[in-house]
Amino acid sequence: MNDNVNVVVERTEQLLGELDQLLEQREQIRVDTPKQQSESVIVNDVASTANTASTENTKSRSKNRVANQAALKLLMETYPKTFSRTGVRPLKIGIQEDLLADEKIAKNKIKRALASYVRTLSYYRSLQAGAARIDLAGEAAGEVSEQEAEHAKGKLKEINRQRRERDQQQRKEQAEKEKSDRLTNKLEQLVNLKGR
């Protein structure tokens, strides 16, 4: 058993020596070729810019989400018989025109709020064939057709499929990160063995 440990230690030291040589060669190449070094800096700058753009895009989406939620809250406060987070019911066809004609809320806020409201899972679930649609007073104003109900079912399936794919991708990325972390940890252990 002791011989096996010695063989592993010798092989590890040999590999570490080879790694040191490769690092020295790479450093020498960097010193000899400043053009490559400047290209590396450019690549790093581009990557940094891409990360910044991604962060700004995320911030922009977050701001839009906040604005949409604020507009939706205003709509729910102004028309509590029609808009609700809990008792979601199908809206009258053409309700946007009714809201614009009522002039209680700005046009851009109406569009934001309606877009947010009708794209929720609760709203899609409320679109059952024959269900009553409601107007601004909360009164019945038409019914949901079979075709509209089928469309809503399709949207629900699509949303669920996208969620599954996103969850699957996140699990895959997490597994890759854990694998990378394990490899890094093992390399650090090897480096520490050499230092002894």
Residues 141, 131 contacting (CB under 8 angstroms): no
| pLDDT at residue number 50 | 46
pLDDT digits (tens, 9 = 90+) for 158-176: 999 999 999 999 999 999 9
For range 72-100, the mean pLDDT: 90
| pLDDT at residue number 156 | 92
For range 127-144, the mean pLDDT: 91
**Is residue 150 predicted with pLDDT exceeding 90?**
yes
Cβ-in-10-Å burial (0-12, 13-18, 19+) of 169 comes to: exposed
CA 12 – CA 6 distance, rounded (Å): 10
Read off the pLDDT band of 151 (50, 70, 90): very high
pTM over the 0.85 mark: no
Within 8 A by CB and 6+ apart from 125, the residues are: 88, 152, 156
Query: Token pair for residue 10?
Result: 């010798």
Is the backbone of residue 144 left (phi > 0), alpha (psi -120 to 50) or beta? beta
**Is residue 196 predicted with pLDDT exceeding 70?**
no
Residues 149, 128 contacting (CB under 8 angstroms): yes
For range 122-128, the mean pLDDT: 91
CA 127 – CA 155 distance, rounded (Å): 11
- Of 59-68, 107-116, 182-191, give the range with the top mean pLDDT: 107-116
DSSP notation for 125-142: HH--TTPEEE-TTS-EEE
CA 5 – CA 31 distance, rounded (Å): 39
pLDDT digits (tens, 9 = 90+) for 46-70: 444 545 555 666 777 777 888 888 8
Supply angle C-alpha 113, 81, 131, rounded to 5: 85
| pLDDT at residue number 193 | 77
| pLDDT at residue number 42 | 43
Handedness of CA 58, 63, 68, 73 (dihedral sign): positive
